[in-house]
Amino acid sequence: MNELVFVGHSFQIRSVTFTNGEHVLSPSVNSKLRSLILADQAMGLTMAPKFSQLDLDAHSVPTTSSVSMPAEQIKSAPVEPPSTTRTHEISNEQNVSERISNLNAARVTVQSVNKTTAGANAHAMQWGMTRALPEILQERINALNEIRTRHDATCPLCCSASNYTNTVLGEGSANAELVFIGEAPGDNEDAIGKPFQGDSGVKLDEMIKAMGLSREQVFLTNVLKTRPQHNQTPTQDQVDQCASFLTEQLLVIRPKVIVPMGGPAAKQLLRKDEGISLLRGKWGVWMPPQGCLVAPIPVMPTFHPAYLLRNYTMETRAFMWSDMKLAMTKLTAK
Ligand code: URA
Protein backbone atom coordinates (compact mmCIF):
# COMPACT_ATOMS: atom_id res chain seq x y z
CA MET A 1 0.00 0.00 0.00
CA ASN A 2 1.50 3.27 -1.13
CA GLU A 3 -0.17 6.13 0.61
CA LEU A 4 0.62 9.78 0.78
CA VAL A 5 -1.60 12.22 2.59
CA PHE A 6 -1.32 16.00 2.76
CA VAL A 7 -3.66 17.70 5.18
CA GLY A 8 -3.92 21.49 5.25
CA HIS A 9 -1.18 23.75 3.89
CA SER A 10 -0.36 27.18 2.57
CA PHE A 11 -1.66 25.82 -0.71
CA GLN A 12 -5.02 25.36 0.97
CA ILE A 13 -4.87 21.62 0.43
CA ARG A 14 -7.48 19.78 2.38
CA SER A 15 -6.52 16.29 1.43
CA VAL A 16 -4.50 14.56 -1.28
CA THR A 17 -4.32 10.80 -0.99
CA PHE A 18 -2.44 8.36 -3.18
CA THR A 19 -3.37 4.74 -2.89
CA ASN A 20 -1.74 2.35 -5.29
CA GLY A 21 -1.29 5.18 -7.77
CA GLU A 22 -4.80 6.56 -7.33
CA HIS A 23 -5.24 10.06 -6.02
CA VAL A 24 -8.08 12.11 -4.65
CA LEU A 25 -7.93 15.87 -4.98
CA SER A 26 -10.08 18.07 -2.84
CA PRO A 27 -11.91 20.75 -4.86
CA SER A 28 -9.89 23.48 -3.19
CA VAL A 29 -6.49 22.10 -4.09
CA ASN A 30 -4.34 24.71 -5.75
CA SER A 31 -4.30 24.28 -9.50
CA LYS A 32 -0.52 24.49 -9.59
CA LEU A 33 -0.22 21.51 -7.29
CA ARG A 34 -2.83 19.68 -9.31
CA SER A 35 -0.75 20.16 -12.45
CA LEU A 36 2.37 18.98 -10.60
CA ILE A 37 0.60 15.83 -9.54
CA LEU A 38 -0.85 15.13 -12.96
CA ALA A 39 2.51 15.88 -14.50
CA ASP A 40 4.17 13.40 -12.20
CA GLN A 41 1.75 10.82 -13.41
CA ALA A 42 2.34 11.81 -17.02
CA MET A 43 6.01 11.08 -16.46
CA GLY A 44 5.10 7.65 -15.11
CA LEU A 45 6.20 8.51 -11.60
CA THR A 46 3.09 7.79 -9.60
CA MET A 47 4.88 5.29 -7.40
CA ALA A 48 8.04 7.38 -7.01
CA PRO A 49 8.64 9.60 -3.98
CA LYS A 50 6.49 12.65 -4.44
CA PHE A 51 6.64 16.13 -3.08
CA SER A 52 8.98 17.53 -0.54
CA GLN A 53 8.09 20.45 1.66
CA LEU A 54 10.01 22.65 -0.78
CA ASP A 55 7.87 21.67 -3.72
CA LEU A 56 4.76 22.50 -1.82
CA ASP A 57 5.71 25.95 -0.72
CA ALA A 58 5.30 28.03 -3.85
CA HIS A 59 6.32 31.17 -2.04
CA SER A 60 9.71 30.08 -0.84
CA VAL A 61 12.66 29.43 -3.07
CA PRO A 62 14.22 26.09 -2.16
CA THR A 63 17.68 26.21 -0.68
CA THR A 64 18.89 24.08 -3.60
CA SER A 65 17.77 26.85 -5.90
CA SER A 66 19.85 29.65 -4.48
CA VAL A 67 21.95 31.05 -7.29
CA SER A 68 25.60 30.58 -6.56
CA MET A 69 27.97 33.07 -8.04
CA PRO A 70 31.66 33.70 -7.33
CA ALA A 71 32.16 36.84 -5.22
CA GLU A 72 34.08 38.68 -7.93
CA GLN A 73 31.26 38.08 -10.42
CA ILE A 74 28.73 39.45 -8.01
CA LYS A 75 30.72 42.65 -7.81
CA SER A 76 31.03 43.06 -11.54
CA ALA A 77 27.65 41.67 -12.62
CA PRO A 78 25.65 44.17 -14.65
CA VAL A 79 22.49 44.11 -12.61
CA GLU A 80 19.37 45.53 -14.17
CA PRO A 81 18.05 48.45 -12.09
CA PRO A 82 14.79 47.34 -10.49
CA SER A 83 12.41 50.11 -11.47
CA THR A 84 14.33 52.56 -13.58
CA THR A 85 15.45 50.26 -16.38
CA ARG A 86 13.83 52.26 -19.14
CA THR A 87 15.17 55.57 -17.85
CA HIS A 88 18.56 54.01 -17.46
CA GLU A 89 18.51 52.75 -21.03
CA ILE A 90 17.39 56.08 -22.39
CA SER A 91 20.02 57.99 -20.49
CA ASN A 92 22.56 55.42 -21.60
CA GLU A 93 21.51 56.04 -25.20
CA GLN A 94 21.61 59.80 -24.59
CA ASN A 95 25.09 59.57 -23.15
CA VAL A 96 26.24 57.58 -26.12
CA SER A 97 24.55 60.11 -28.43
CA GLU A 98 26.35 62.96 -26.74
CA ARG A 99 29.68 61.24 -27.02
CA ILE A 100 29.17 59.96 -30.55
CA SER A 101 27.78 62.72 -32.70
CA ASN A 102 26.71 60.31 -35.45
CA LEU A 103 25.18 57.25 -33.83
CA ASN A 104 24.18 55.75 -37.16
CA ALA A 105 27.78 55.82 -38.29
CA ALA A 106 28.68 53.93 -35.12
CA ARG A 107 26.03 51.32 -35.87
CA VAL A 108 27.39 50.82 -39.37
CA THR A 109 30.84 50.34 -37.86
CA VAL A 110 29.50 47.69 -35.50
CA GLN A 111 27.77 45.94 -38.38
CA SER A 112 30.91 45.85 -40.46
CA VAL A 113 32.91 44.52 -37.50
CA ASN A 114 30.36 41.72 -37.29
CA LYS A 115 31.21 40.60 -40.76
CA THR A 116 34.54 39.29 -39.53
CA THR A 117 35.00 36.14 -37.46
CA ALA A 118 36.57 38.20 -34.69
CA GLY A 119 33.47 40.35 -34.64
CA ALA A 120 31.14 37.42 -34.18
CA ASN A 121 31.25 37.90 -30.43
CA ALA A 122 31.16 41.68 -30.62
CA HIS A 123 27.60 42.00 -31.85
CA ALA A 124 26.27 40.42 -28.68
CA MET A 125 27.38 43.64 -27.09
CA GLN A 126 25.14 45.78 -29.24
CA TRP A 127 22.30 45.42 -26.76
CA GLY A 128 22.71 48.16 -24.22
CA MET A 129 25.66 49.71 -26.03
CA THR A 130 24.37 51.41 -29.14
CA ARG A 131 20.75 50.35 -28.84
CA ALA A 132 18.29 49.84 -26.04
CA LEU A 133 17.13 46.38 -25.10
CA PRO A 134 13.84 45.54 -26.82
CA GLU A 135 11.03 45.81 -24.29
CA ILE A 136 7.63 45.13 -25.82
CA LEU A 137 6.62 41.88 -27.54
CA GLN A 138 6.74 43.27 -31.07
CA GLU A 139 10.18 44.78 -30.45
CA ARG A 140 11.39 41.41 -29.21
CA ILE A 141 9.90 39.59 -32.18
CA ASN A 142 11.56 42.07 -34.53
CA ALA A 143 14.85 41.70 -32.69
CA LEU A 144 14.72 37.89 -32.91
CA ASN A 145 13.94 38.16 -36.64
CA GLU A 146 16.85 40.52 -37.07
CA ILE A 147 19.15 38.07 -35.27
CA ARG A 148 17.92 35.32 -37.61
CA THR A 149 18.66 37.43 -40.68
CA ARG A 150 22.06 38.48 -39.43
CA HIS A 151 22.90 34.95 -38.36
CA ASP A 152 22.03 33.57 -41.76
CA ALA A 153 24.13 36.23 -43.46
CA THR A 154 27.14 36.39 -41.16
CA CYS A 155 27.58 33.39 -38.83
CA PRO A 156 31.15 32.26 -39.45
CA LEU A 157 30.26 28.62 -38.79
CA CYS A 158 26.94 28.30 -40.57
CA CYS A 159 27.87 30.44 -43.56
CA SER A 160 30.83 28.20 -44.27
CA ALA A 161 28.88 24.94 -43.81
CA SER A 162 27.16 23.34 -46.78
CA ASN A 163 25.62 20.21 -45.33
CA TYR A 164 22.33 21.66 -44.21
CA THR A 165 19.00 22.62 -45.72
CA ASN A 166 17.63 25.14 -43.21
CA THR A 167 19.04 27.13 -40.36
CA VAL A 168 17.13 26.49 -37.12
CA LEU A 169 17.14 29.64 -35.02
CA GLY A 170 14.40 28.80 -32.54
CA GLU A 171 10.69 28.68 -31.95
CA GLY A 172 8.27 29.97 -29.34
CA SER A 173 7.41 33.13 -27.48
CA ALA A 174 9.71 36.14 -27.61
CA ASN A 175 8.35 36.87 -24.11
CA ALA A 176 9.00 33.36 -22.78
CA GLU A 177 9.79 33.00 -19.09
CA LEU A 178 11.35 29.61 -19.77
CA VAL A 179 13.90 28.85 -22.49
CA PHE A 180 15.05 25.32 -23.35
CA ILE A 181 18.37 24.96 -25.14
CA GLY A 182 19.49 21.83 -26.95
CA GLU A 183 22.66 20.99 -28.78
CA ALA A 184 22.10 21.40 -32.52
CA PRO A 185 19.46 20.60 -35.11
CA GLY A 186 19.31 17.04 -36.41
CA ASP A 187 17.84 15.72 -39.65
CA ASN A 188 14.20 16.34 -38.72
CA GLU A 189 14.85 19.89 -37.59
CA ASP A 190 17.05 20.61 -40.60
CA ALA A 191 14.28 19.48 -42.93
CA ILE A 192 11.75 22.02 -41.69
CA GLY A 193 13.82 24.70 -39.93
CA LYS A 194 12.23 24.22 -36.48
CA PRO A 195 13.84 22.88 -33.30
CA PHE A 196 12.94 19.66 -31.51
CA GLN A 197 10.97 17.68 -34.04
CA GLY A 198 11.02 13.87 -34.11
CA ASP A 199 11.03 11.63 -31.05
CA SER A 200 12.98 13.91 -28.73
CA GLY A 201 10.69 16.78 -29.75
CA VAL A 202 7.65 14.68 -28.87
CA LYS A 203 9.17 13.83 -25.49
CA LEU A 204 10.06 17.47 -24.85
CA ASP A 205 6.50 18.53 -25.76
CA GLU A 206 5.19 15.99 -23.23
CA MET A 207 7.43 17.43 -20.55
CA ILE A 208 6.41 21.00 -21.35
CA LYS A 209 2.76 19.99 -21.23
CA ALA A 210 3.31 18.19 -17.94
CA MET A 211 4.67 21.48 -16.61
CA GLY A 212 1.36 23.12 -17.47
CA LEU A 213 2.85 25.01 -20.42
CA SER A 214 2.81 24.77 -24.20
CA ARG A 215 5.49 24.97 -26.90
CA GLU A 216 4.08 28.38 -27.83
CA GLN A 217 4.62 29.73 -24.32
CA VAL A 218 8.26 28.74 -23.97
CA PHE A 219 11.18 29.28 -26.35
CA LEU A 220 13.18 26.39 -27.82
CA THR A 221 16.56 26.81 -29.40
CA ASN A 222 20.00 25.22 -29.73
CA VAL A 223 23.62 26.15 -29.24
CA LEU A 224 24.35 25.59 -32.95
CA LYS A 225 21.86 26.84 -35.50
CA THR A 226 22.65 24.38 -38.29
CA ARG A 227 22.95 20.61 -38.41
CA PRO A 228 26.54 19.55 -37.72
CA GLN A 229 28.17 17.26 -40.24
CA HIS A 230 27.22 13.62 -39.52
CA ASN A 231 25.16 14.98 -36.59
CA GLN A 232 28.31 15.06 -34.48
CA THR A 233 28.51 16.62 -31.03
CA PRO A 234 29.57 20.26 -31.56
CA THR A 235 33.25 21.02 -31.01
CA GLN A 236 34.27 23.97 -28.85
CA ASP A 237 35.49 25.76 -31.96
CA GLN A 238 32.06 25.39 -33.61
CA VAL A 239 30.34 26.59 -30.45
CA ASP A 240 32.64 29.60 -30.24
CA GLN A 241 31.73 30.60 -33.77
CA CYS A 242 27.96 30.27 -33.54
CA ALA A 243 27.00 30.75 -29.91
CA SER A 244 27.04 34.53 -29.82
CA PHE A 245 23.69 34.39 -31.65
CA LEU A 246 22.31 32.31 -28.77
CA THR A 247 23.65 34.97 -26.40
CA GLU A 248 21.76 37.61 -28.32
CA GLN A 249 18.54 35.59 -28.31
CA LEU A 250 18.78 35.27 -24.54
CA LEU A 251 19.42 39.00 -24.19
CA VAL A 252 16.28 39.74 -26.18
CA ILE A 253 14.00 37.24 -24.42
CA ARG A 254 15.47 37.60 -20.93
CA PRO A 255 13.62 34.59 -19.51
CA LYS A 256 13.24 33.88 -15.80
CA VAL A 257 14.82 30.45 -16.15
CA ILE A 258 17.04 28.79 -18.75
CA VAL A 259 17.07 24.99 -19.06
CA PRO A 260 20.05 23.72 -21.03
CA MET A 261 19.49 20.11 -22.03
CA GLY A 262 22.59 17.95 -22.33
CA GLY A 263 26.30 18.60 -21.88
CA PRO A 264 27.10 21.03 -24.73
CA ALA A 265 24.32 23.48 -23.82
CA ALA A 266 24.95 23.27 -20.07
CA LYS A 267 28.70 23.73 -20.44
CA GLN A 268 28.28 26.66 -22.80
CA LEU A 269 25.83 28.49 -20.55
CA LEU A 270 27.61 27.84 -17.29
CA ARG A 271 31.15 28.00 -18.67
CA LYS A 272 31.91 24.74 -16.89
CA ASP A 273 33.69 21.58 -17.94
CA GLU A 274 31.78 19.02 -15.89
CA GLY A 275 29.52 16.51 -17.60
CA ILE A 276 25.75 16.86 -17.50
CA SER A 277 25.39 14.14 -14.84
CA LEU A 278 27.25 16.41 -12.42
CA LEU A 279 25.69 19.66 -13.57
CA ARG A 280 22.04 18.62 -13.74
CA GLY A 281 19.64 19.34 -10.92
CA LYS A 282 21.77 22.14 -9.45
CA TRP A 283 21.06 25.80 -9.99
CA GLY A 284 23.67 27.72 -11.91
CA VAL A 285 23.60 31.15 -13.46
CA TRP A 286 24.03 32.54 -16.95
CA MET A 287 26.10 35.69 -16.88
CA PRO A 288 25.15 38.06 -19.71
CA PRO A 289 28.03 39.92 -21.35
CA GLN A 290 29.06 42.98 -19.39
CA GLY A 291 27.50 46.22 -20.51
CA CYS A 292 24.21 44.67 -21.62
CA LEU A 293 22.20 45.85 -18.62
CA VAL A 294 20.70 42.39 -18.21
CA ALA A 295 20.65 40.66 -14.84
CA PRO A 296 22.17 37.17 -14.47
CA ILE A 297 19.60 34.48 -15.25
CA PRO A 298 19.10 31.26 -13.22
CA VAL A 299 19.99 28.07 -15.09
CA MET A 300 18.65 24.57 -14.35
CA PRO A 301 20.61 22.05 -16.44
CA THR A 302 19.01 18.71 -17.21
CA PHE A 303 19.47 15.72 -19.47
CA HIS A 304 18.73 15.94 -23.18
CA PRO A 305 15.38 14.33 -24.10
CA ALA A 306 17.24 12.11 -26.58
CA TYR A 307 19.30 10.79 -23.65
CA LEU A 308 16.09 10.19 -21.72
CA LEU A 309 14.70 8.18 -24.62
CA ARG A 310 17.89 6.12 -24.82
CA ASN A 311 17.84 5.53 -21.05
CA TYR A 312 14.15 5.36 -20.32
CA THR A 313 14.51 4.24 -16.74
CA MET A 314 12.59 5.29 -13.68
CA GLU A 315 15.77 6.91 -12.38
CA THR A 316 16.39 9.10 -15.46
CA ARG A 317 12.74 10.09 -15.62
CA ALA A 318 12.71 10.96 -11.93
CA PHE A 319 15.89 13.05 -12.29
CA MET A 320 14.52 14.99 -15.24
CA TRP A 321 11.17 15.55 -13.64
CA SER A 322 12.74 16.76 -10.42
CA ASP A 323 14.83 19.22 -12.49
CA MET A 324 11.66 20.47 -14.18
CA LYS A 325 9.95 20.89 -10.84
CA LEU A 326 12.85 23.01 -9.60
CA ALA A 327 12.55 25.15 -12.74
CA MET A 328 8.81 25.52 -12.11
CA THR A 329 9.41 26.52 -8.52
CA LYS A 330 11.59 29.38 -9.71
CA LEU A 331 9.01 30.39 -12.31
CA THR A 332 6.25 30.60 -9.75
CA ALA A 333 8.35 32.26 -7.02
CA LYS A 334 7.59 35.93 -6.45
N1 URA B 1 18.36 17.72 -30.58
C2 URA B 1 18.72 18.98 -30.23
O3 URA B 1 19.63 19.18 -29.46
N4 URA B 1 18.06 19.98 -30.77
C5 URA B 1 17.06 19.82 -31.62
O6 URA B 1 16.49 20.81 -32.06
C7 URA B 1 16.69 18.51 -31.92
C8 URA B 1 17.34 17.47 -31.40
Residue 146: pLDDT band with limits 50, 70, 90? very high
Q: 81 alpha carbon to ligand 1 midpoint, in Å?
A: 35
Q: Which among 21, 4, 20, 19 is positioned nearest to 56, based on CA atoms?
A: 4
Q: 197 alpha carbon to ligand 1 midpoint, in Å?
A: 8
For the Cβ of 200 lying below 6 angstroms from any atom of ligand 1, the answer is yes
How do 171-172 and 297-299 pair as beta strands? unpaired
Does the pTM of the predicted model rise above 0.75? no
Q: 78 alpha carbon to ligand 1 midpoint, in Å?
A: 31
- Looking at residue 130, its pLDDT comes to 74
Q: What is the DSSP string of 29-96?
A: S-HHHHHHHHHHHHTT-TTS----HHHH-TTS--GGGPPP--HHHHHH--PPPSS-HHHHHHHHHHHH
Residues with Cβ within 8 Å of residue 108, at least 6 apart in sequence: none
Domains in the chain: ranges and CATH: 3-56 (no CATH), 63-332 (3.40.470.10)
Residue 124 confidence (pLDDT) above 70: no
- Cβ atoms of 89 and 133 within 8 Å: the answer is yes
Residues 63-111: tens digit of each pLDDT: 333 333 344 433 333 333 333 333 333 344 444 344 434 434 434 433 4
Q: What is the largest CA-CA distance in the chain?
A: 76
For the Cβ of 89 lying below 6 angstroms from any atom of ligand 1, the answer is no
Q: Which among 157, 304, 287 is positioned nearest to 234, based on CA atoms?
A: 157
For the Cβ of 182 lying below 6 angstroms from any atom of ligand 1, the answer is yes
User: Candidates 168, 183, 233, 304: which one to mutate for ligand 1, based on the most atoms within 8 Å of Cβ?
Assistant: 183
- Looking at residue 179, its pLDDT comes to 98
Give the ligand 1 atom nearest the CA of 220: 6
For the Cβ of 190 lying below 6 angstroms from any atom of ligand 1, the answer is no
